[in-house]
Structure 1
Amino acid sequence: MSNLVRKVFVGVSLGAALSLAAAPAFAFDFGQLWPFGGGEARVSNAAEVTPVAGEVRYATQIQVDKAELEQVIADASLLVGDQGEAPEDSVSLLTRAQVDQKRIVAALYGEAHYGAVLTILIDGVPLDQVPLDINLQGKVAQVTIQVDAGSQFVFAAPDVRVNDQPLVVADYGLRAGEIAKSDAILSAQNAILTEWREKGYAFAEVVDRTIEADHSVNQLDVLLRIETGQLAHIGDVRVSGAKDMREDTIIEIADLPRGEIYRPQTIKRATRDLQELGVFNSVVIKRERRADRPDLVDLVIEVSERKPRTIGVGATIGNTDGLGVEGFWVHRNLFGGAEKVRVEGSVNRIGQGGLDKMDFHTALVYFKPNAFGPKTSFEGKISFDIENPKAFTKRGGKIETSLSHQINDDLSVRGGLTGEYAVLTVDGVTTNQSIISAPFELTYDTRDNSLNPTEGFFAVAYAEPTYAIANQAQFIKTSVKASTYYAFDDEAKLVLAGRVAAGSIIGADLADVPVDRRFFAGGAGSIRGYAFQAAGPRTLSGNPSGGLSFLETSVEARYRVTEQVGVVGFVDMGGAFTSSVPGQGGDLYTGVGVGVRYLTPLGPIRADLAIPLKNISGEPNYGLYLGIGQAF
């Protein structure tokens, strides 16, 4: 057998002043701590594995004196996790075992077992005694991982100083007498450094770190010395790697003013703003020390441009809304300033009838970031639509212009002007309408991911003053939507999501508001289980008529079964109402259902099945919805 601490850390260094000390105290390095992976199932007996000619196969057995550590060891072990993949040869198996020594040691340190003894046996022979020229091809080797874990260690009084001043570290998770898990030390160290760097001390660093385990009392001594250096300000900013994108535009959008205090959060924000342009494959902002001015930090924005043109397609499908297909062409950098031109088109409600039942959309969009400073963008859009829902038919064109401004990382505002001309048919009566409006939108977003959020809050407040020229009606269409997300565990396997939305049209009677401007409820993004626009008031002919207000609530429990597959259960409730007061002048409708999510890097692929608790005559008694992204 071999003592862990004496075998596996020789020659590994994080740059700290660590050395191997004589018992009963020893020093070790945290440089080999990394996220582990491993399989939960394994074949533990070689007799259960069938040998294959020309291949090296093996079974892995774990023998540990503390049962609660068996899964910890299995998760850290390559021998266990990669058991289903046969090593290329005998040496590859030995290499896998040698790597396991470091991984298992680090995992045991993570559980505060600093005096553990590890032995890895190959067919009963200790690993360090197995000859390198051993031939295991065509055989099944028995690999045994033996661990004598020993006692858990606790922290002695930590000795931490910043700029030679003592620092109380209880709030950072280092407390005398508590279980001395190794990740607590790294977490505390990183938290202290992050705190000082966010204050503007860009080059705060650990200058001394000594961690010793005293076996006589099963205590871990932690010594940290941190120097912050001078308060740093942003110096010169330059760009590297730009080809078609103008460097001055990159610098302006990054918005890193010379003389401003350097903070990592500022760099993170600038990186995100540049990435969101869609022009770059990668954006990395590097800092450089200045020998002549230690109070300044020069910045280099390294970019790699992507191809400017993209063609994309997408599809949605459901039993209540039919099939929808869409496509687009986009140029992301038209004039070298990240100006974007997008041509898009879509056809929806395929399968719900003939051509006269389908919806058609086409649009030309122009977007210019940095139109009036680094935080303000311009967008212009011309669109043409043919819509054929049950409530009405519409043939129209629209011109929209808007400005959007990012107030801070979480808050943005958008406002503009819209002009629309349309031919509208309702219950066989056709009218021509011209509408001018001024939509305004305020958005607050702290979600961790827009397509698959697990924490945070999202809210949108909307107001659209509108003037209908034909009947001279004036009204304001308002709405508020909010959603929040809560993860019950650190891995966000179980997430509870909630949504509420309400809206009201103020200033006109229902008859004076064009039907396409009214509120409707029901469908995939509203109340699942009901058809599009179905959950609300109706005309005498039985078609949806829309309302002056709406109210919707949703609760959804999302559970990730595997890394790629998740399941959900949900309840949606709400409706549209003839009164301008949500909840008055109509009924509430409730849909319940379940769904499946297939998780991809581009967002989850969603499939939901819902049933209405209040059946509507002539409407389906269930709803099936397929799409990309969570429902909200």
Structure 2
Amino acid sequence: MTWGALMWGRRPFLPSFLVVASLAAASVAFAPAAEAFELFGYHLWGDKKQELTPEEAAEAVPYKPDLTLTEENEELKESLEESSDLVSRADEPPAGVNALYARAVSDRKRLIAALYADGRYGGTVDIAINGMPIDDIVVGGEPPASDGDVPVKITVDPGPQFTFDEARIVSAGSDADISENPADYGIKTGEVAGSQTILSAGDRIALKWRQKGHALARVDEREIVADHATNTVDVTYHLTPGPVAHYGAPTVEGQERMDPDFILRYAAIEPGKRYDPEELAKAEKRLRELGVFDGVKIREGKELGPDGTLPLTIQVEERKRRYFGAGVTYSNTEGGAVELYWGHRNLFGGAERLRIEGKVGRLGDGDYEDLDYSTKVTFAKPGVLGPATEFTAEVFAIHEEPDAYVRTAAGAIVGMSYKFTDEISAKIGAEVERSRIEDALGEHDYLLTGVPLGLTYDSRDNKLDATKGFLAMLEMEPLYDAEGGNGMLLSETSLSAYRSIDSADRFILAGKVAVGSALGAGLEDIPADRRFYLGGGGTIRGYGYQNVGPHRGNGKIIGGLSYFLASAEVRTRLTDSIGAVAFVDTGNAFRTRYPDFSEPLRTGVGAGIRYLTPIGPLRLDAAVPLDKQDGDPDFGIYVGIGQSF
């Protein structure tokens, strides 16, 4: 059955009268045209533009589409143009007139579905190729003659917009906690009766029952009555809730190197427990976050098993175990940096990760003997004490020469993290480091042992490019220097917030506040690399790297015992792949153990461009200092991957 009184071309399907229709037809073919993206010759997402063979190119038929509405409605016209293949793919001429005809026939279905989505069930779509209606074109016959690009005329009479009148839910069961009011699911009298609204409401009704343990709950039929005399729609949902279900013993499919028993333990689905779709979704998410799978899907049985439980199958597709890559950053105040890394995602079958990396920094910021070098090996073992835990171990060696000090060090860190909820996690570890540091206060050797502690709250919707949510972090580390016999406590706290100010998430307000403090030992007894410095990328853009904070009388940077930092950004998405940012950073580092706000704050302002990719935005920022000091540039340029915070 179809939706009533819709016409393709000029042929009505059914009389414009009362029609009972199935909703499935309303959703056919309605999807905006996908966009493709390639970077350095590699296809990253979207529908890849199809290359024509030389023979096809010779037969290609360039055309010029023109979509018009019989009424003034720019919003609807834009929606139709986004849905239309003829419009969105006009720069991809089809290989021959028959291919153009096929595209036009398909496009008519897409446009009809787009009208359904806008609640218009009495519209017409006429398409003519070089003046000839597509219903009159004979496939394989002579193409309509044309000089130059073939004109394709698309004329849409959208017809009236239908609204909801009566709606009801007919269920084979009842539950006092589940509403049977269609308005609670989006079907409200007098509102636009869009096809997607009708579909989504049925899905929400079934989901409500599933959340109560009815795994097999389904809407068997959506009964639609469209009255063309009043331009209204009545909807009746016929629901079969099914019995309350409990989990059967899950099985695993698709694993290659992964241990299936580990997958089951990490999914943490308890056989016999009452069905909960949110619990299964969290299990899928946990398995994806291991980083070892390309795909994870927990498939539910379509009926209960002989023992009355719901069969579950965890289907996985493993990624390549080994990977390698490189990273590049640049700033005119810090020079360039190049990083190379190699990794393994699944060493022993339990998603154990190994990563080896090396980095050279301060390229172009001085002589070659002043370069920074570092290497690090990191091992991680998830699920050590259950799926919420992860063990990590790291060894490192580093030689760095920022303006404030020269440091050569080696050390190791082990730690354990625990995830209390999706938002809250904590970590604890043990650290040992041997170093030699020369700075404005002299040359010192250190043998440090410490216990790093951390607590994080993260509700961001996207870790790479957030549009809403918060990130709060508290990090503390008690340290003891065996060489100098000094103890100290270092702590840092930060809060970042993100808020979209429009429904399309094209305008984002982002802000960050951070403070740090060092207690216990005096400034001269705290290793220079553990003191606080601001200035440069990641802190106050526009100023010299680490140049904001305490200096000696000779102008040498010595760092502070505390700091305060605040940043604000307005992020705008100009297109699907290009964004712009305006920002301001302010703060200072202080000799005192707590921020001293009687001292002036240093402020930098600037703007930047973002190139949006699946691995995070590529960032280019330019900033100027508003209170330039000795050692600060006239402006700063920063290039990197990811948002600044």
Fold equivalence (TM over 0.5): yes
Q: 1:471 to 1:282 in 2, by over 3 A?
A: same
Aligned-pair CA distance for 1:229: 1.6
Match of 1:241 in 2: 254
1:63 to 64, 68, 72: 68
Pair 335,118 (structure 1): closer, same or farther in 2 beyond 3 Å: closer
The letter for the 1-side match of 2:26 is F
Query: How far apart are the structure 2 equivalents of 1:426 and 1:38?
Result: 56
Residue matched to 2:166 = 157
Cα deviation digits, residues 588-621 of structure 1 (max 9, x gap): 1111111111111211111111111110112212
Secondary structure, aligned partner of 2:116:
helix
1:415 corresponds in structure 2 to 428
CA RMSD of aligned residues (A): 2.4
Decide which moves more: 333-342 or 388-397: 333-342
TM-aligned CA deviation for residue 26 of structure 1: 4.8
**Aligned with 1:380: secondary structure?**
strand
- Give the aligned length: 609
Q: What is the deviation of 1:153?
A: 1.4
Matched with 1:229 is: 242
Matches of 1:20 and 1:366 in 2, distance apart?
67
The one-letter amino acid of 2:33's match is G
Aligned to 2:632: 619
Matched, 1:341 2:354: yes
SS state at 1:248 partner: helix
SS in 1 for 2:358: strand
Write the distance in 2 (CA, Å) between the matches of 1:440 and 1:310. Answer: 30
Q: CA 1:4 to 1:235, structure 2 compared with 1: closer, same or farther past 3 Å?
A: closer
Q: Which one of 491, 500, 505 corresponds to residue 478 of structure 1?
A: 491
* Offset, 1:297: 2.0
Match of residue 277 from structure 2: 264
Give the letter for the 1:121 counterpart: A
User: Aligned partners of 2:29 and 2:209: how far apart in 1?
Assistant: 24
Deviation at 1:225, TM superposition (A): 1.8
**Partner-residue secondary structure (3-state), 1:234:** coil
| 1:23 equivalent among 17, 24, 32 | 17
Matches within 5 A, 1:267-282: 267-282=280-295
Q: Say whether 1:353 aligns with 2:366.
A: yes
Q: TM-score, normalised by structure 2?
A: 0.89
Q: Which residue of 2 aligns with 1:45?
A: none
Cα distance, 1:72 vs structure 2: 2.7
Per-residue deviation, 1:319? 0.2
Cα separation, 2, equivalents of 1:422 and 1:219: 78
Q: 2:527 matched to 1:533?
A: no
Instruction: Measure how far apart 1:53 and its partner are.
Output: 7.8
Distance in 2 between residues matched to 1:161 and 1:579, nearest whole Å = 70
Indicate the SS of the match to 2:27: coil
Report the counterpart of residue 107 of structure 1 in structure 2. Answer: 114
Tell me, in whole angstroms, the C-alpha distance in 2 between the residues paired with 1:164 and 1:261: 18
CA distance in 2: counterparts of 1:133 and 1:544, whole angstroms: 80
Q: Quick check: 1:181 aligned with 2:194?
A: yes
Q: Which residue of structure 2 aligns with residue 86 of structure 1? A: 93
- Cα distance between partner residues in 1 of 2:594 and 2:568: 23
Partner in structure 2 of residue 43 of structure 1: none
Alignment of 1:289-304 (within 5 A): 289=302, 291-293=304-306, 295-304=308-317
Q: Distance in 2 between matches of 1:155 and 1:202?
A: 30
Question: What's the offset of the Cα at 1:627?
Answer: 0.6
Deviations 1:490-521 (A, max 9, x none): 33222111111112223343333222211111
Distance in 1 between the 2:193 and 2:120 partners? 9
Q: 1:234 to 1:292 in 2, by over 3 A?
A: closer
Q: Is the 8 A contact 2:30 2:111 kept in 1?
A: no
- Structure 1 counterpart of 2:225: 212
Equivalent runs, 1:373-392 vs 2, <5 Å: 373-392=386-405
Q: 1:186 & 1:72 partners in 2: Cα distance?
A: 19
Instruction: Give TM-score, length-normalised by structure 1.
Output: 0.91
Q: Label 1:304 to 1:470 Cα distance change in 2 as closer, same or farther (>3 A).
A: same
Tell me the equivalent position of 2:157: 148
Question: Unaligned stretches of 5+ in structure 2?
Answer: 36-56
* Change over 3 Å in CA distance of 1:573–1:163 after alignment to 2: farther
CA contact (8 A) 2:6 2:122 kept: no
